[in-house]
Chains A and B, each alone.
Chain A
């Protein structure tokens, strides 16, 4: 990957693929400029002294709550699959993933 402050069209294509998101060829150059400008904005944090600082995941240092390991939800598959693009026999249908022999 090129210098992070300056994105090339190849960088954008690679990142878009990582994100599994198609980008029109005509738009790639603009996204490269936008991402470069964003990185110019965020680059400031690289120089900040954060020695001995613990990363903040939750503002209140909350601990993850746990619940008893018992089933307490009803089966709502029918309701959830009503809005699915394609279903059959309770399964979500997608293009075949297994290659032909």
Chain B
């Protein structure tokens, strides 16, 4: 049962093929078997999970179960979970027991999903490999000498190794889509404002968005039904009705126009990755889609723009970690300044310190206009390019990442070189658009995903497109040998 999709698990529970307790025990056994090696989970909440499962079984007896009631899920350790450690992958919050639940956690609880635990991530979501986690790297179940991606690498590794059938992630510059690509999963970054950020520890507030990670588009649709919605506690969330994302999965895509940005298909793109994405595009043509070449003239500015805005916002967001009210406080501070300096110096890892310093400098007097304000204007240009593209096409198809999963330690010597690998994903966050990565095949036995980008609130179309592709291919059904 650990290999079942959410959709299959939901049906099996309804038919009483097994109980939620049995199902939860199965996944807890998977965690016992694999987590020591893979390091996907920071915290496993076994007792709580079994208690939730028991409640879910009672609910089913009373006939008030919902589609996902009683099904286990893992949450990226960036979502506050009341009474449970919420570390954000950092020494700074290693001792932090969240005093409240994030809004999406409350949604999942209301639907009766069973939380297995909290998954590993790059510290404060800053990174692309989980190598920046205080708790060590999460290994890729497809090749344990390689990273599972980041920052939602723990969630990706947990689903790929079937320690959980699904997980939540967050995406600020690609942190759901890239690990989904590296681990052969489907992962969705919703439109900015589609999912509440209340209780989701902030990295870059104008870019962050929580989303689902699972084996299939159908599973992601089931999860998005739970996650999406306006929230009075998040004033950036958008007051817009949530459709049933599962209802339109099987819509006919004949006549859909798919744009292929010429700036993404240059000789800079690895030939194997290009060939894989082109094969996906050809499959969509067979399904009746029309492929159209489009241009995003300013898209090469996405990386520089992102690496102004994200660190700037991060430096502001992380100023709350001062050792006063929660989190790490240094020993025997001599005075207030010493307390701030050493609590933050000792509590944060190198990558977080790097980004805080970049952001602090960019927001300082004399640089704010030249950089942060400028970047917000360039961001508008990038967004305008996408708006223009969506007058010609319904969705965009392109690579998620320039490569398959890289080796552990391979990119840690030059952290700045790693930033360029966000080139296909970061622009989507800057524009606030929805983006999805789904399995596209394998290169040298390593998974690679393709990306679909949609117009604002086009999650239903992206899930529909991915689902249709998954009806005629079976990449998404492949599992690592170790499972």
Contacts and interface: CB of A to CB of B under 8 A. Distances in A.
Given A38-B416, A94-B336, A54 B377 contact: yes
B361 interface: yes
A75 to B, nearest CB: 13
Interface string A51-93: 0011111111010110100000000100111111110000010
A21 B329 contact: no
B377 A55 contact: yes
Interface string A32-53: 0011011001111110101001
Contacts of B192: 58-60
Nearest to A86: B329
A38 B301 contact: no
Contacts of B420: 41
B416 A85 contact: no
Nearest to A54: B380
Contacts, number: 177
A82 B364 CA distance: 35
Contacts of A58: 192-193, 206, 236, 432
Interface stretch (B44-52, B139-147, B342-350, B439-447): B342-350
A7 to B, nearest CB: 8
Interface string B417-460: 00110000000000111000000000000000000000010000
Contact of B325 (A45, A79, A84): A84
Interface string B212-241: 000000000000000000001001101100
Contacts of A62: 193, 236, 238
B326 to A, nearest CB: 5
B250 interface: no
Contact of A20 (B341, B354, B374): B341
A contact patch SS: loop
A22 interface: yes
Given A38-B416, A83-B97, A84-B326, A48 B333 contact: no
A53 B419 CA distance: 26
Contact of B304 (A43, A59, A76, A96): A43
B129 interface: no
A50 B193 contact: no
B341 A60 contact: no
A101 interface: no
Contacts of A56: 376-377, 379-380, 383
Contacts of B95: 83
Nearest to A79: B99
Interface of A: 1, 4, 12, 15-24, 27, 31, 34-35, 37-38, 41-46, 48, 50, 53-60, 62, 64-65, 67, 76, 79-86, 92, 94-97
Nearest to B346: A22
A53 B381 contact: yes
Interface stretch (B13-21, B34-42, B178-186, B365-373): B365-373
A45 B374 contact: yes
A20 B301 CA distance: 31
Nearest to A64: B235
B338 interface: yes
A53 B433 CA distance: 20
A83 to B, nearest CB: 5
Given A21-B353, A46-B370, A76-B99, A60 B416 contact: no
B199 interface: no
Contacts of A17: 341
B335 interface: yes
A42 B324 CA distance: 34
Contact of B344 (A19, A31, A57): A19
21 contacts: A15-B357, A16-B353, A18-B361, A19-B315, A20-B319, A22-B341, A41-B304, A42-B308, A44-B301, A45-B308, A45-B378, A48-B374, A54-B377, A58-B206, A58-B236, A62-B238, A64-B235, A79-B99, A80-B99, A83-B95, A85-B324
